[in-house]
Amino acid sequence: MKSRDPSEKVIHIFELLAYLASSARGLLEEPREYGPLRCLDAMRRLIDVVLEMKLVEDPEVVKYLQELKDRLQRGMITLMYNVEEFKNFIIDLNRELAKIAVLILEKYYSSE
């Protein structure tokens, strides 16, 4: 994904929609572990869209998303090799994202 012209944006959106629709279709029949796998891949793809469309400008957040995308790619593959490692990756990811979410809320969300 390189260009940011409007036609590319349309393609990015439909790539994501098609991915989610075809994942839902597949998960009607696929193994149970594929559900979490598809969710992780959807995160990775969403980050791709966000970064390509420059929807986030905060350099710290951009850096985090770039790193997260790489880790998601690696984490997904662990399912093929070690299911326990795959599960732990998801659990750790939730802990990590909870910490990040709190920081993001502190920075961007007004409670007033």
Name the site residues for another protein (rule: CB under 8 A).
Answer: 11, 14-15, 18-19, 21-23, 25-26, 30, 34, 38, 41, 76-77, 80-82
**Quick check: 51 and 66 in contact, CB under 8 A?**
yes
Calculate ∠ Cα 42-33-67, nearest 5°.
40
Residue closer to another protein by CB (options 38, 65) is 38
Q: How far is the CB of 50 from another protein (least distance, A)?
A: 18
Q: Which residue has the tokens 């690696």?
A: 74
Residue closer to another protein by CB (options 77, 101) is 77
Q: Which residue has the tokens 């709190």?
A: 102
Residue closer to another protein by CB (options 11, 55) is 11
Q: What is the torsional sign of CA 5, 73, 69, 29?
A: positive
Q: How far is the CB of 26 from another protein (least distance, A)?
A: 5
Burial of 104 (0-12, 13-18, 19+ CB in 10 A): middle
Q: How far is the CB of 13 from another protein (least distance, A)?
A: 11
Q: How far is the CB of 11 from another protein (least distance, A)?
A: 8
